[in-house]
Chains A and B, each alone.
Chain A
Protein backbone atom coordinates (compact mmCIF):
# COMPACT_ATOMS: atom_id res chain seq x y z
CA UNK A 1 0.00 0.00 0.00
CA UNK A 2 1.79 3.09 -1.30
CA UNK A 3 0.67 5.92 0.97
CA UNK A 4 2.80 8.54 -0.77
CA UNK A 5 2.95 8.49 -4.55
CA UNK A 6 5.01 10.33 -7.09
CA UNK A 7 3.51 9.24 -10.37
CA UNK A 8 6.08 10.86 -12.63
CA UNK A 9 9.38 8.99 -12.50
CA UNK A 10 11.16 11.68 -14.49
CA UNK A 11 10.88 15.29 -15.63
CA UNK A 12 12.99 17.30 -18.05
CA UNK A 13 12.91 21.10 -18.22
CA UNK A 14 14.94 23.84 -19.81
CA UNK A 15 17.18 26.02 -17.65
CA UNK A 16 15.33 29.14 -16.49
CA UNK A 17 11.89 27.56 -16.79
CA UNK A 18 9.66 26.31 -14.00
CA UNK A 19 9.92 22.74 -12.71
CA UNK A 20 6.79 21.31 -11.10
CA UNK A 21 7.04 18.05 -9.20
CA UNK A 22 3.89 16.41 -7.94
CA UNK A 23 3.05 14.15 -5.04
CA UNK A 24 -0.19 12.51 -3.87
CA UNK A 25 -0.94 10.88 -0.56
CA UNK A 26 -3.72 8.72 0.78
CA UNK A 27 -3.49 8.93 4.56
CA UNK A 28 -5.47 11.85 6.00
CA UNK A 29 -3.51 11.50 9.26
CA UNK A 30 -0.43 12.98 7.62
CA UNK A 31 0.12 16.50 8.90
CA UNK A 32 3.63 17.36 7.80
CA UNK A 33 5.13 17.10 4.35
CA UNK A 34 8.68 17.41 3.15
CA UNK A 35 10.73 17.39 0.00
CA UNK A 36 14.18 15.87 -0.11
CA UNK A 37 16.74 16.12 -2.88
CA UNK A 38 19.19 13.35 -3.67
CA UNK A 39 22.30 13.41 -5.82
CA UNK A 40 23.90 10.14 -6.97
CA UNK A 41 26.00 8.39 -4.32
CA UNK A 42 24.83 10.82 -1.65
CA UNK A 43 22.13 10.63 0.99
CA UNK A 44 18.95 12.67 0.59
CA UNK A 45 19.09 16.21 1.92
CA UNK A 46 16.17 18.20 3.26
CA UNK A 47 14.88 20.86 0.89
CA UNK A 48 11.61 22.35 2.11
CA UNK A 49 8.62 21.39 4.22
CA UNK A 50 5.04 22.40 4.89
CA UNK A 51 2.66 21.86 7.75
CA UNK A 52 -0.91 20.86 7.06
CA UNK A 53 -2.15 24.12 8.56
CA UNK A 54 -0.63 25.97 5.61
CA UNK A 55 -1.20 25.76 1.90
CA UNK A 56 2.04 27.33 0.72
CA UNK A 57 5.60 27.65 1.89
CA UNK A 58 8.31 29.47 0.00
CA UNK A 59 12.08 29.41 0.31
CA UNK A 60 13.98 31.23 -2.38
CA UNK A 61 13.46 29.49 -5.70
CA UNK A 62 11.51 26.68 -4.06
CA UNK A 63 7.81 26.76 -3.21
CA UNK A 64 5.69 23.91 -1.91
CA UNK A 65 1.92 23.96 -2.32
CA UNK A 66 -0.45 21.77 -0.33
CA UNK A 67 -4.02 20.95 -1.33
CA UNK A 68 -5.42 18.98 1.58
CA UNK A 69 -8.80 18.34 0.04
CA UNK A 70 -7.12 16.73 -2.95
CA UNK A 71 -4.39 15.13 -0.83
CA UNK A 72 -1.89 16.60 -3.23
CA UNK A 73 1.27 18.62 -2.92
CA UNK A 74 3.65 20.05 -5.43
CA UNK A 75 7.13 21.52 -5.50
CA UNK A 76 7.82 24.44 -7.81
CA UNK A 77 11.35 25.43 -8.72
CA UNK A 78 11.68 28.79 -10.42
CA UNK A 79 13.93 29.44 -12.22
CA UNK A 80 15.31 25.95 -12.70
CA UNK A 81 19.09 25.57 -12.82
CA UNK A 82 21.26 22.70 -14.08
CA UNK A 83 22.45 22.13 -10.50
CA UNK A 84 18.86 21.29 -9.56
CA UNK A 85 19.18 18.06 -11.56
CA UNK A 86 18.65 15.34 -8.96
CA UNK A 87 16.08 12.90 -7.63
CA UNK A 88 13.37 14.58 -5.59
CA UNK A 89 11.49 12.66 -2.92
CA UNK A 90 8.24 13.68 -1.37
CA UNK A 91 7.74 12.52 2.23
CA UNK A 92 4.99 12.68 4.81
CA UNK A 93 4.72 12.35 8.54
CA UNK A 94 1.79 12.33 10.87
CA UNK A 95 0.25 11.69 14.22
CA UNK A 96 1.20 8.04 14.12
CA UNK A 97 3.14 7.81 17.36
CA UNK A 98 4.93 11.09 16.73
CA UNK A 99 8.12 9.22 16.00
CA UNK A 100 9.23 11.46 13.19
CA UNK A 101 9.07 8.44 10.90
CA UNK A 102 8.75 9.58 7.31
CA UNK A 103 6.89 7.82 4.52
CA UNK A 104 8.56 8.51 1.18
CA UNK A 105 7.36 8.48 -2.38
CA UNK A 106 9.19 6.72 -5.19
CA UNK A 107 11.04 9.83 -6.31
CA UNK A 108 11.09 11.93 -9.47
CA UNK A 109 14.30 12.42 -11.41
CA UNK A 110 14.58 16.02 -12.56
CA UNK A 111 16.87 16.94 -15.40
CA UNK A 112 17.44 20.62 -16.09
CA UNK A 113 18.98 21.18 -19.49
CA UNK A 114 21.32 24.13 -20.06
Chain B
Protein backbone atom coordinates (compact mmCIF):
# COMPACT_ATOMS: atom_id res chain seq x y z
CA UNK B 1 0.00 0.00 0.00
CA UNK B 2 0.89 3.68 -0.10
CA UNK B 3 1.52 3.91 3.61
CA UNK B 4 1.81 1.92 6.80
CA UNK B 5 -1.59 0.58 7.79
CA UNK B 6 -2.53 -0.35 11.34
CA UNK B 7 -5.65 -2.02 12.61
CA UNK B 8 -7.75 -1.59 14.56
CA UNK B 9 -7.46 2.16 14.97
CA UNK B 10 -9.08 1.92 18.39
CA UNK B 11 -9.43 -0.99 20.77
CA UNK B 12 -11.12 -1.12 24.15
CA UNK B 13 -10.57 -4.30 26.09
CA UNK B 14 -11.22 -5.59 29.56
CA UNK B 15 -8.35 -6.12 31.94
CA UNK B 16 -7.02 -9.64 31.65
CA UNK B 17 -8.03 -10.19 28.03
CA UNK B 18 -5.57 -10.74 25.19
CA UNK B 19 -5.34 -8.33 22.26
CA UNK B 20 -3.74 -8.45 18.83
CA UNK B 21 -2.63 -5.37 16.96
CA UNK B 22 -1.83 -5.56 13.27
CA UNK B 23 0.61 -3.65 11.11
CA UNK B 24 0.87 -3.72 7.31
CA UNK B 25 4.15 -2.07 6.34
CA UNK B 26 4.93 -0.37 3.07
CA UNK B 27 5.57 -2.99 0.40
CA UNK B 28 9.25 -3.69 0.05
CA UNK B 29 10.23 -2.22 3.40
CA UNK B 30 12.45 -4.73 5.13
CA UNK B 31 12.61 -3.07 8.55
CA UNK B 32 9.60 -2.88 10.85
CA UNK B 33 9.40 -1.25 14.27
CA UNK B 34 6.82 -1.14 17.04
CA UNK B 35 6.68 1.78 19.44
CA UNK B 36 4.13 2.88 21.99
CA UNK B 37 3.19 6.24 23.39
CA UNK B 38 1.65 6.30 26.82
CA UNK B 39 -0.19 9.39 28.02
CA UNK B 40 2.29 12.23 28.51
CA UNK B 41 5.22 10.09 27.49
CA UNK B 42 7.50 9.91 24.49
CA UNK B 43 7.67 7.14 21.96
CA UNK B 44 8.93 3.99 23.64
CA UNK B 45 10.70 1.42 21.48
CA UNK B 46 9.24 -2.08 21.75
CA UNK B 47 10.57 -4.39 19.05
CA UNK B 48 12.33 -4.31 15.69
CA UNK B 49 12.32 -6.75 12.74
CA UNK B 50 14.83 -6.71 9.92
CA UNK B 51 14.47 -9.24 7.11
CA UNK B 52 15.12 -12.76 8.30
CA UNK B 53 17.31 -11.71 11.21
CA UNK B 54 16.31 -12.41 14.79
CA UNK B 55 14.15 -9.54 16.06
CA UNK B 56 15.45 -7.03 18.58
CA UNK B 57 13.03 -7.53 21.47
CA UNK B 58 14.94 -5.40 23.94
CA UNK B 59 12.12 -2.91 24.39
CA UNK B 60 9.30 -5.29 25.25
CA UNK B 61 8.20 -4.34 28.79
CA UNK B 62 7.22 -7.82 29.96
CA UNK B 63 6.75 -11.39 28.77
CA UNK B 64 3.07 -10.62 28.21
CA UNK B 65 4.17 -8.81 25.07
CA UNK B 66 5.16 -10.65 21.91
CA UNK B 67 5.30 -9.90 18.22
CA UNK B 68 5.78 -11.75 15.01
CA UNK B 69 6.27 -10.85 11.43
CA UNK B 70 5.02 -13.31 8.86
CA UNK B 71 6.59 -13.61 5.44
CA UNK B 72 8.64 -10.51 6.02
CA UNK B 73 5.56 -8.36 5.71
CA UNK B 74 2.60 -8.13 8.10
CA UNK B 75 3.37 -7.92 11.79
CA UNK B 76 1.17 -8.69 14.78
CA UNK B 77 1.82 -7.39 18.28
CA UNK B 78 0.12 -9.50 20.93
CA UNK B 79 -0.47 -8.44 24.51
CA UNK B 80 -1.63 -11.19 26.83
CA UNK B 81 -3.56 -10.65 30.05
CA UNK B 82 -3.79 -6.92 29.45
CA UNK B 83 -3.30 -4.51 32.33
CA UNK B 84 -4.42 -0.91 32.67
CA UNK B 85 -0.85 0.30 32.31
CA UNK B 86 -0.84 -1.19 28.80
CA UNK B 87 -3.22 1.57 27.70
CA UNK B 88 -1.36 3.58 25.09
CA UNK B 89 -1.14 4.36 21.39
CA UNK B 90 0.80 1.60 19.67
CA UNK B 91 2.66 2.81 16.59
CA UNK B 92 4.19 0.76 13.85
CA UNK B 93 6.81 2.07 11.44
CA UNK B 94 8.59 0.58 8.48
CA UNK B 95 11.79 1.47 6.69
CA UNK B 96 13.37 0.50 3.41
CA UNK B 97 16.84 0.45 4.89
CA UNK B 98 17.42 -0.25 8.55
CA UNK B 99 20.65 1.72 8.45
CA UNK B 100 18.85 4.94 7.61
CA UNK B 101 16.59 6.03 10.47
CA UNK B 102 15.20 8.98 8.56
CA UNK B 103 13.50 6.48 6.30
CA UNK B 104 10.90 5.61 8.96
CA UNK B 105 7.25 5.85 7.90
CA UNK B 106 4.80 5.57 10.76
CA UNK B 107 1.25 4.31 10.71
CA UNK B 108 -1.53 6.21 12.44
CA UNK B 109 -1.43 3.91 15.42
CA UNK B 110 -3.81 1.79 17.45
CA UNK B 111 -5.20 3.43 20.55
CA UNK B 112 -5.55 0.69 23.16
CA UNK B 113 -7.66 1.31 26.24
CA UNK B 114 -7.74 -1.33 28.97
CA UNK B 115 -10.70 -0.93 31.33
- Same complex: yes
Whether B56 sits at the interface, judged by CB under 8 Å, is yes
7 inter-chain pairs at a CB distance below 8 angstroms, sorted by A residue, are A44-B91, A45-B106, A91-B43, A100-B31, A100-B101, A101-B101, A104-B35
Judging by beta carbons under 8 Å apart, are A101 and B56 in contact? Answer: yes
Judging by beta carbons under 8 Å apart, are A106 and B109 in contact? Answer: no
Q: Could you say which of A44, A98, A106 contacts B98, with CB atoms under 8 Å apart?
A: A98
Per-position contact with B for A77-91: 1 when CB-CB < 8 Å, else 0? 000000000000101
* Cα-based distance from A49 to B4 in the complex (angstroms): 21
Per-position contact with A for B15-46: 1 when CB-CB < 8 Å, else 0? 00000000000000001010100001111110
With contacts A42-B108, A43-B4, A44-B91 taken as known, whether A97 is within 8 angstroms of B56 at the C-beta atoms is: yes
Judging by beta carbons under 8 Å apart, are A105 and B106 in contact? Answer: no
Interface magnitude class on chain B? 20 to 34
* Cα-based distance from A105 to B42 in the complex (angstroms): 5
Which residues on the A side are within 8 Å of B95 (C-beta)?
100
Judging by beta carbons under 8 Å apart, are A43 and B107 in contact? Answer: yes
Q: Could you say which of A34, A45, A99, A106 contacts B56, with CB atoms under 8 Å apart?
A: A99
* Distance (whole angstroms) from the CB of B7 to the closest CB of chain A: 13
* Cα-based distance from A89 to B31 in the complex (angstroms): 21
